Amino acid sequence: MALTHVYIKDLRMHAYHGVLEQERSVGNDYVVNVSVGYPWEEAMLTDNVSDTLNYAALADLITEEMSVPSALLENVAGRIVKRIQREFPKTESIRLDIRKSAPPMSQDTDGCGVVIEV
pLDDT in tens, 73-92: 999 999 999 999 999 999 99
pTM tops 0.75 = yes
Three-state SS for the chain is CCEEEEEEEEEEEEECCCCCHHHHHHCEEEEEEEEEEEECHHHHHHCCHHHCCCHHHHHHHHHHHHCCCCCCHHHHHHHHHHHHHHHCCCCCEEEEEEEECCCCCCCCCCCEEEEEEC
Residue 16: other Cβ atoms inside 10 A: 15
1-41 confidence digits (pLDDT tens): 567 899 999 999 999 999 988 888 999 999 999 999 999 88
Cβ 97 vs Cβ 30: under 8 Å: no
